[in-house]
Structure 1
C-alpha cells in the first residue's frame, strides 16, 4: 500500500485549483459564472472566480474574472483582472528553464492527469486578452493605452504563427492513424478556420482604432489582414475601398471593381460602428477508451469538440430608420476547436507516457501483493480504481469568450437614437457630427447589454 499512499499524499499536496480539476471538470466549475452572466445580476459573476486567481490555474481564472467584469460593464475591475492574466503570461515567458514546481506538476500529470499542469492558455486566448484589454482602455477614455494593447495583440499573432510553423514539423513527424482521424474530425468541426492564432476580429479592432485616431495607413494594413482571414465580410470590403480611395492606393481600382465604389460620409454625418458578440464558446468534451494491460484496467481520456455547431443568428439593428444587419468577422468557437487540433499531438504524447506510468505502477503493486500468500489483492484493486477515477481529460479553456463576433458600420445624421437588437429592449445611443460612436453589444442569450462611447 506504500505506493498508493504516496500517490494520495501527492494528490493532497496539489493546489486547490489543480485538485478540483482532477475530479470536477472545468466546464462544471464555470457553469455558475456563465449562469450569472446570463442573468440580471452579472456583477456577481467575477466574484465567483476571483478567489481562485492565486492558484495553479490563476491565469485562466483571471481571464474569466476579467471577461465577467467586462460583460457587467465594470471596465476598471476588468482591467485589473486582465493585468493579472498578462503578468501570469509574462511569468511563463520569463522562465529560462522549467522550475521545480512545473517539473513536479508535469511528473504528477503522469500519474494523475493533465489538469495538474498549471494552465497556460493557447495563443488565441492570449491575443484576445490584449484585444479586450484595449477595449477596457478605450471605454475608460484612454485611446492611446488601447493602441498599445492592440499592437501587442498584432505582435502576438505574428509570434504565434512563427511558433506554429516551427512546431508543425514535430506534428507531422508524430502523425499516425489515431492522430489523423481526430485531427480530421476537429478540422471538419472548425469549418474554414485553418489556424487558431489568426483572428480577424482582433485585426479589425486594431484597424478601427488606428482609423479613429487618425492613422489611416495603419488602419488599411490591419483591415487587409482582417479581410484575408474573413474575405466575405461586406463591411471590411467597404472599408478597404474607402481607405484605398482616400489614400490614393494602387489597389483602389481593383477593390472598386470587386466590391463597388466607396461609401463616404457627408460633412454633417456621424459614424456608427457596431461590434456584436453572441453566445459563449463551446465547452470541451471528452472521450474515454477503457482497455486492459496484463489484466489491469486502464483508461485513456482526451479532450475533444463534437461537430454540432449551429449557425449563429445574424444581428439586426433597428432604430436607425432602416435595419442594419451585422456580418460575422470571427468565429471564436472555430478558433478554440483549431487550437485543440494544434495541441492534440503533444497531448497524445503525454497520454502515452501516462498510460505507461500507470501500468507500471499497477503491475508493481500487483507483484508486491502476490508475494504475500493468502492475502486479498486490495492494493491492486485500489490501484486500478485510482487509475480509472483520475484519468480525466483536460477540458480547461476560457469559457466566457463569445461564440461569434459580428460587425456593422453606418453613417447617420447626428442625434439620439434608440437602438434595438432583434426584438430586445431598446438602448439610447448618441451620434455626433464628424465623430465616431462605437457600440459594443454583448448578447449572452437571455440578456443583451449595450455599451457605447463617442470618439
Structure 2
C-alpha cells in the first residue's frame, strides 16, 4: 500500500511538470493580434512563470528579445538576447543533470537548449539591434560570436549542416562597414556556399553583390566554385559602391509554424526493432517504418505495445507573404527571400526525429516495466482494490508522456532583403506588405528617411501576422 501511495504521489507530481507549450500560443496569439508587440511583451511579463516556467527560460528571453526587436526597442532586445545566449552557453558547459529525469518522465523536464536555426536567428536580430543604436563595435562582436556558432554547428555533423546564408551575408556587410575587407570576402564566400547548401535558392541580388564585392577584391576566381551563373555585369551593386550609400530593407513576413502532436504506435522489441505506424491527420495516409531498438533493463526478450506523441509542424494563417518597396515615388523594388523558417523547422525535426522516437519509445517501455513491477509488488489480494490501483498506476504512467512542443513563438515565416543605392540626403520610403496572391495587406509609410554620406541605412519591417 505504501509503495502504491508513493507511486501515485510521484505520478501526480511528475504530471505537474507537463509542458506549457499547448497553452502558450493560445494565451499569447490573441494579445498579439489585438495589442501588438508591446501588449504581448507586457502579457508575457505578467504570466511568464505560468506560460514558460523554469525549463523554458531560454525561450522566454528569446521571445521577449524578438518582440522588443520588432517594437524597435533595441536596447531592451539586446538585454534579453544576452541572457538567452548566456543560458545557451551554460547548458553546453554544464553536465546535463536533467537527462535522468527525462528518462522516466518526458523531454519537457529538460532545459530548452534552442534549435540551431533559433540560435542563428538570435544572432541576426542581435547584430541588427546594435546597428540600430549605432554601435558598430557591438555588431562586430555579435558577428564574431555568430561565426563561431555557425562553425560549431557545421562541424557537428556534416550530414546535418546548420548554416545560414543570410547571416553570413549580413556578417559580410558589417565587416565592410568596419573596413575589414578580408573578413568581408570570407563571409561573402561562406554566404554563397551556405545558400547553395541550404533550403533557400541563391537570391539573384545577393549573388550580384557577392560577385561585385569579390571581383573588386581580386577574388573573382573563387566564384567559379559555385553553381550560380557567372555575371558579366553588376549594375545595382556597382551603383551602390559608386554612390557610397544604400538603404537596406529587411522584411519579416508572416508567422512561423508552431508545433502540435503527432501520435505513433507500434511494437518495441528490446535489443531488436521498433516498429511504428503513423496516420497523417490531414491526408489519412498510413506510414509504417522500423528503427533499431536499444536493450532495456528488465524487459528481457519481451515485446511491448507502445504509443506516444511526437512534435509535428502546425502552420498558422499567413497574411504577409512578400513585400514591395517604393523609394521617392520612382524606384520600385521587390525584396528577395533569404530565410525560410518553416523549412528550417522541417529540417531540424527531420534531423532529430529518429533519435527522439527511439528515446521516447525506450522511456515508455522503461515506465511500463516499472509499472508492472509496482503493480505486482503492491497487490493486496482484494480484487476490486487491486483493479482500481492497477488502473491508476497505468493511467498515471501513461500521462507522463507528452511531446516536447517548445519552439520560438514569434519568428517570421520568411525574411526578405533588398539593397537600394541612393544619394545622400532624405528619401521618401514606402513598404507594402503583400499577401500570397499579391493583394495589399499593409502599408508602412516611413516618411523622410535620412541617409548620411557613406551610410548603409537599415530599415526593418515586421509584418508577422
Please indicate the TM-score interval, normalised by the length of the shorter structure.
0.7 to 0.9
Match for residue 409 of structure 1? 419
Match for residue 233 of structure 2? 261
Deviation (angstroms), 1:198? 0.8
For the residue of structure 2 that corresponds to 1:348, the secondary structure is helix
Match for residue 352 of structure 1? 361
| Cα pair 2:132 2:458 within 8 Å, conserved | no
Deviations 1:222-265 (A, max 9, x none): 22222223253012111122213322333389699722312222
* Deviates further, 305-314 or 348-357: 305-314
Deviation (angstroms), 1:386? 1.9
| Counterpart Cα distance in 1 of 2:223 and 2:365 | 62
Match for residue 143 of structure 1? 136
Structure 2 counterparts to residues 116-155 of structure 1, below 5 A: 116-155=109-148
**Are positions 1:394 and 2:404 aligned together?**
yes
| Cα pair 1:62 1:82 within 8 Å, conserved | yes
| Counterpart Cα distance in 2 of 1:280 and 1:80 | 24
| Counterpart Cα distance in 2 of 1:383 and 1:401 | 40
For the residue of structure 2 that corresponds to 1:299, the secondary structure is strand
For the residue of structure 2 that corresponds to 1:158, the secondary structure is helix
**Are positions 1:270 and 2:242 aligned together?**
no
TM-score (structure 1 length as normaliser): 0.79
Deviation (angstroms), 1:86? 1.4
Deviations 1:258-290 (A, max 9, x none): 223122227556311111111222112221235
Measured at CA, do residues 11 and 43 of structure 1 come closer, stay the same or move farther in structure 2, by a change above 3 Å?
farther
Deviation (angstroms), 1:20? 5.5
Measured at CA, do residues 292 and 203 of structure 1 come closer, stay the same or move farther in structure 2, by a change above 3 Å?
closer
Match for residue 340 of structure 1? 349
Measured at CA, do residues 27 and 406 of structure 1 come closer, stay the same or move farther in structure 2, by a change above 3 Å?
farther
Match for residue 427 of structure 1? 446
Gaps of 5+ in 1: 169-193, 446-455
Match for residue 164 of structure 2? 199
Measured at CA, do residues 419 and 113 of structure 1 come closer, stay the same or move farther in structure 2, by a change above 3 Å?
same
Measured at CA, do residues 370 and 94 of structure 1 come closer, stay the same or move farther in structure 2, by a change above 3 Å?
closer
Match for residue 302 of structure 1? 310
Deviations 1:388-435 (A, max 9, x none): 333211111122221111111111233221312244231222333432
| Counterpart Cα distance in 1 of 2:331 and 2:83 | 43
Structure 2 counterparts to residues 297-336 of structure 1, below 5 A: 299-305=307-313, 313-320=321-328, 321-336=330-345
| Counterpart Cα distance in 1 of 2:303 and 2:389 | 15
Deviations 1:333-375 (A, max 9, x none): 2112212222223312321221112211331243245451333
| Cα pair 2:165 2:191 within 8 Å, conserved | yes
Match for residue 220 of structure 1? 185
| Counterpart Cα distance in 2 of 1:236 and 1:292 | 50
| Cα pair 1:245 1:262 within 8 Å, conserved | no
| Cα pair 2:55 2:112 within 8 Å, conserved | yes
| Cα pair 1:113 1:391 within 8 Å, conserved | yes
Q: Indicate the structure with greater strand content.
A: 2
| Cα pair 1:38 1:444 within 8 Å, conserved | no
* Deviates further, 397-406 or 249-258: 249-258
| Counterpart Cα distance in 1 of 2:107 and 2:174 | 39
Measured at CA, do residues 278 and 5 of structure 1 come closer, stay the same or move farther in structure 2, by a change above 3 Å?
farther
| Cα pair 1:241 1:261 within 8 Å, conserved | no
For the residue of structure 1 that corresponds to 2:407, the secondary structure is coil
Deviation (angstroms), 1:212? 2.2
TM-score (structure 2 length as normaliser): 0.78
For the residue of structure 2 that corresponds to 1:41, the secondary structure is helix
Measured at CA, do residues 161 and 295 of structure 1 come closer, stay the same or move farther in structure 2, by a change above 3 Å?
closer
For the residue of structure 1 that corresponds to 2:258, the secondary structure is coil
| Cα pair 1:49 1:64 within 8 Å, conserved | no
| Counterpart Cα distance in 1 of 2:350 and 2:104 | 24
Match for residue 151 of structure 2? 158
Structure 2 counterparts to residues 176-255 of structure 1, below 5 A: 195=161, 197-231=162-196, 232-251=202-221
For the residue of structure 2 that corresponds to 1:286, the secondary structure is strand
Structure 2 counterparts to residues 32-181 of structure 1, below 5 A: 32-50=27-45, 51-52=48-49, 55-95=54-94, 97-98=95-96, 102=97, 105-165=98-158
| Counterpart Cα distance in 2 of 1:219 and 1:163 | 24
Measured at CA, do residues 395 and 332 of structure 1 come closer, stay the same or move farther in structure 2, by a change above 3 Å?
same
For the residue of structure 2 that corresponds to 1:347, the secondary structure is helix
Measured at CA, do residues 310 and 41 of structure 1 come closer, stay the same or move farther in structure 2, by a change above 3 Å?
closer
For the residue of structure 1 that corresponds to 2:251, the secondary structure is strand
Deviation (angstroms), 1:312? 7.3
